[in-house]
Structure 1
Amino acid sequence: MEVAATPPRRPRSVHVSAEMECADSSMAVEPEPMSPTGRILEEMGVCIVVLMGLGTPVNLPVFRAGIETELVTRFPRFRSVQVMDGSKDGKPGWVQTKVNVDDHIVVPVLDPAAVVFDPEKTVEDYVASLSTLPMDRRRPLWEFHFLDFPTSEATSTAVLRLHHSIGDAMSIMTLFMASSCSTADPARLPAMPPPPKRTGAIYQPQPRPALSSLGDYLAWAWSYFVLVWHTLVDIILLAATVLFLSDPRTLLTRGDNGESHRRKRFVHRSISLDDVKLIKTTMNCTLNDVLVGVTSAALSRYYFRKSGHTNTKSICLRSFVPVNIRPISSRQTYVTKVETGNRLSSLICPLHIALHNDPLDYVRKANRSMHRKKSSLEVMFTQVVGELLVKCFGVKIGAFIFHRLGTHTTIALSNVIGPAERITLCGHPIVFMATSIYGQPQALTMHYLNYGSTIKVIMAVDDAQFPDCHQILDDFAESVKLMKDAAVLSNLTIST
């Protein structure tokens, strides 16, 4: 049953001048420059969608006041519009403007019968409809949608839609943590996630050892030789991907070459963080390794069941993986500063579609692949070259190249660290959070979001290509269960 009403189509407006959008005559009209990554995302039309399950019915006046005093005040992008003129070099930028919060709040009128019959599908259909609607560029590019009816997971639902040029998932999540309080103790801010082991670039140079032996010196020198070799290989493969190298056509690959922005459906499922940590400890790897392995296992189950292929030879697809390039995670400093903008680079990682007798083999392969990527400067190369292309040849060239990377790979894969405990945002306890994007070329996008004791598996899928997308979520849950059972059995075998 489809949603009977969707948000009204607002007119797509052109970029306006800084003078028109300045909040008052005393405010400087020189825009703040937009980052090269932000310009590429703006050109591609990529938007972020954040679903938040609320533990209480929507109290609109309270939530509105929270948006105004917390989000708009703390985050300059929430009170800024994009402009094309007014800057000295004529490049796009941000200029602050007056914000009428009511212009950014949508309470749709939905079919009561659809809400009663299947509230989960009603929410899905409504959020899917947002992926087909343009945003009003005369205002700051964000909006809240409130669906005030219960689902199986929450009492009501709030949906934040914002343009990706405003910021990446890390900056948005940091904003939420800085603007919320702990649900367990409203007098304090929410507990921060544990500090990441990696505080700099994904590649960490090995310190020069004391020259106690020739072997130590040769091992140190060899690590740099491997770094150079892996980087050269990755750069060649990256260039080949832009020019001609694409993944084999499978039922997971987008059929229209990613040219049309078709409707996306957003679905999600919760898995236990403790189960993932158990697998991580058993395999002596990272959480990311486990999640990549689970993705490979789940998509393999779906692919071979759906295709009916009896040849179980491994199919090597590739995933486009955004990487946070902030030198120190802003989660550790959010009390004093909320970072803005997009600080992203990317990797292209292998994703194997195969059937293994041992479920933990998927994690082993993922661990080897990710370890290999950590001994390469591919992330730094992608960032530097991407910024140079935008500065020297314009944003259309940069967007074209990133679009080619998307159309020649099969899946986009991202992991976001959320609050370590339940939070209350704008006066409403948040039961769950699910973050995703639309506007990217791939037909299938996977996001993982840690929140409290759970991990949300979130998929953004081409609505026409994956009508059975909930079966993929079932495969994720089953893959985690099989891996957990295998890890427990492995631990018992070792202990005996």
Structure 2
Amino acid sequence: MESEDQVLRSRKQLAMKPIRTKTENGEDGREDHLKKRHDHEVVEEEPLSPSARLFHEPNFNVYIIAIMGSKTKIQLDIVKANLEHTLLKHPRFSSLQVVDDRSGDMKWVRTKVDLEKHIRVPEVNPNMESGDQFVEDYVFNLSKTTIDKSQPMWDLHLLNVKTSDSEAVGIFRIHHSLGDGTSLISLLLACTRKISDPEALPTVPVKKKKKQEKSNSWWLWRCLVGLWWVWQLLWHTVVDVFMFMVTASFLKDTETPLKGPEGIESNPRRIIHRTVSLDDFKLVKNAMNTTINDVALGVTQAGLSRYLNRKYGEGKKAEEKSTETKNNLPKNVRLRSTLLINIRTSVGIQALADMMEKDTEVKWGNWIGYVLLPFTIGLRDDPLDYVREAKATIDRKKHSFEAIYTFFIAEFVLKLFGIKRASGLSHRIISHTTMCFSNLVGPLEEIGFYGHPMTYLAPSSYGQPHALMINFQSYINKMTIVLSVDESIIPDPYQLCDDVIDSLKVIKDAVIAKGLVKEDQNKN
């Protein structure tokens, strides 16, 4: 726990300028729609973006959950004091979403935030049998509820419960209309600081550009490769957009034990997580010249294949002797993940921190497009094939404007046919696929949430029409695997999680056995 001097110094460092919004002069009837904040600033309403409005439809009412483990007990007064000077400076977290009586549109209206209505600190039994089970059940029950629109649509739950990997747990719940997942997690990290340097923002790795040697022949080769690259880009985009439209119309994934029926978006979700070594991912990445994302997707494909082989083989003998050619899996399983891709240039943690500290404008909201990511389901005699197939899939998807085109298709449908049709389109796309998958890059060093050292960050969501969502979140030298499941469809999420983790071990062991890399060569 921080000393009183440290707390005061931290509060002083986090003092920020108010955000001002200019108003239009000479517009009739605007007085009723202008709100004064507690600091006497006059601010102007903003309409909700079409994408934000979409998340208020009954079949698309999605909430983002960010579970944070703390090394120390969480001090309520410190959290409250710092929220005033950080998160509440962001307009979306201090605004109501109000329906205009005249137009029927929804607008952001700034309001004074009462933190007592947003921070929940339940009483807990210090002698409880299992802190892990308590936290898990708490999140499960939380997924049965929603946030009332009479207040800004976020809350924070502080559980001073000792678990197997933390002394306390904080749970942020944020309605998806406030922003897309990547920006919200980045904003959350903008509220943290390095433990080694309390004034410094977290460091998140960025992809380094490879240096290329230039010569006379290089330019000609570059032009030829560029022409072929553009042709492939256009062709891949046409194919992907066509598949998007076909999926929206009729093409559904194979009915498997992982796919839920339509209408499950209102069901509660069991959210579990396991933390493994990030070095294992790096070992495979370096040995196979891939990315962490390739490895995460390959491990997931292997884990899902293992799980489904067991499910289809229930009641059969010698399940452990299954091979690539002899197993319980049906042929040609179509299993796809819906990826929501941030199509804006990444604003980054620094820009989001600046938004809360200065009068800067950062493009906010839900700037997301769809990507339909096919998973290869099948047993492989060579475990490294899972990673090779994943890399081929991701490389192919990177070489397409699918996300941008699907974003504009959704916007076009919304503006031309209205919110109901747009909601129906989005719902069909997601319900015709099997799951959600994401891999988020986290800080490279230990960080503190308002001075509380974090042990892990586990993001997920509920309210989506999928029975399964898998998130990978890195943090320092750890990788947290998070599963959000509908227990009526997937009653054994722990087994599924074990299958993913066991698959990582099998792939890592195969890398070492083939002599591709030594076990101690875990470079970044």
> Which range is displaced more, 291-300 or 279-288?
279-288
Alpha-carbon distance between aligned partners in 1 of 2:350 and 2:159, rounded to the nearest angstrom: 33
Taking the TM superposition and a 5 Å limit, the aligned residue runs for 1:325-364 are 325-331=343-349, 333-337=351-355, 339=362, 340-364=364-388
Alpha-carbon distance between aligned partners in 1 of 2:181 and 2:510, rounded to the nearest angstrom: 33
Matched, 1:82 2:97: yes
Q: 1:21 to 1:358 in 2, by over 3 A?
A: farther
- Structure 1 residue aligned with 2:35, among 22, 25, 40? 22
Matched, 1:306 2:305: no
1:410 Cα deviation from its structure 2 partner: 0.3
1:215 Cα deviation from its structure 2 partner: 7.1
- Structure 2 residue aligned with 1:222, among 223, 228, 237? 228
1:307 Cα deviation from its structure 2 partner: 2.1
Taking the TM superposition and a 5 Å limit, the aligned residue runs for 1:360-379 are 360-379=384-403
1:486 Cα deviation from its structure 2 partner: 1.5
Deviations 1:127-176 (A, max 9, x none): 01111112111000011112112011111111111101112222222223
Corresponding residue number in structure 1 for 2:251: 245
Deviations 1:209-255 (A, max 9, x none): 9898987655432322222222111111111100100001000000x
Q: 1:52 to 1:472 in 2, by over 3 A?
A: same
Q: Which of the pair has more CA radius of gyration? A: 2
1:70 Cα deviation from its structure 2 partner: 2.0
> 1:408 is matched by which residue type in structure 2?
H
Alpha-carbon distance between aligned partners in 2 of 1:55 and 1:93, rounded to the nearest angstrom: 40
Corresponding residue number in structure 2 for 1:196: 207
Alpha-carbon distance between aligned partners in 1 of 2:516 and 2:158, rounded to the nearest angstrom: 48
Alpha-carbon distance between aligned partners in 2 of 1:401 and 1:225, rounded to the nearest angstrom: 29
TM-score when normalising by structure 2: 0.82
Q: 1:175 to 1:223 in 2, by over 3 A?
A: closer
Alpha-carbon distance between aligned partners in 2 of 1:343 and 1:481, rounded to the nearest angstrom: 36
Alpha-carbon distance between aligned partners in 1 of 2:511 and 2:347, rounded to the nearest angstrom: 31
1:268 Cα deviation from its structure 2 partner: 0.5
> Which range is displaced more, 305-314 or 403-412?
305-314
SS in 2 for 1:137: coil
- Check conservation: 2:264, 2:466, Cα contact below 8 A: no
Alpha-carbon distance between aligned partners in 1 of 2:117 and 2:32, rounded to the nearest angstrom: 21
SS in 1 for 2:128: helix
Q: 1:68 to 1:367 in 2, by over 3 A?
A: same
- Check conservation: 2:187, 2:349, Cα contact below 8 A: no
SS in 1 for 2:286: helix
- Check conservation: 1:42, 1:163, Cα contact below 8 A: no
- Structure 2 residue aligned with 1:181, among 193, 197, 203? 193
Taking the TM superposition and a 5 Å limit, the aligned residue runs for 1:419-430 are 419-430=443-454
Flag structure 2 segments of 5+ consecutive residues without an equivalent.
1-29, 210-214, 315-326, 357-361, 520-524
1:438 Cα deviation from its structure 2 partner: 0.6
Q: 1:60 to 1:336 in 2, by over 3 A?
A: closer
1:60 Cα deviation from its structure 2 partner: 1.4
- Structure 2 residue aligned with 1:278, among 274, 277, 283? 283
Alpha-carbon distance between aligned partners in 2 of 1:328 and 1:45, rounded to the nearest angstrom: 25
Corresponding residue number in structure 1 for 2:513: 489
> Which range is displaced more, 404-413 or 213-222?
213-222
- Check conservation: 1:417, 1:450, Cα contact below 8 A: yes
- Structure 2 residue aligned with 1:414, among 430, 438, 457? 438
SS in 2 for 1:315: coil
> Which range is displaced more, 286-295 or 23-32?
23-32
TM-score when normalising by structure 1: 0.87
Q: 1:171 to 1:59 in 2, by over 3 A?
A: same
Deviations 1:328-365 (A, max 9, x none): 44135445346532232220011111111111111111
SS in 2 for 1:271: strand
Instruction: Give percent identity, aligned residues only.
Output: 37
Corresponding residue number in structure 2 for 1:10: none
SS in 2 for 1:117: coil
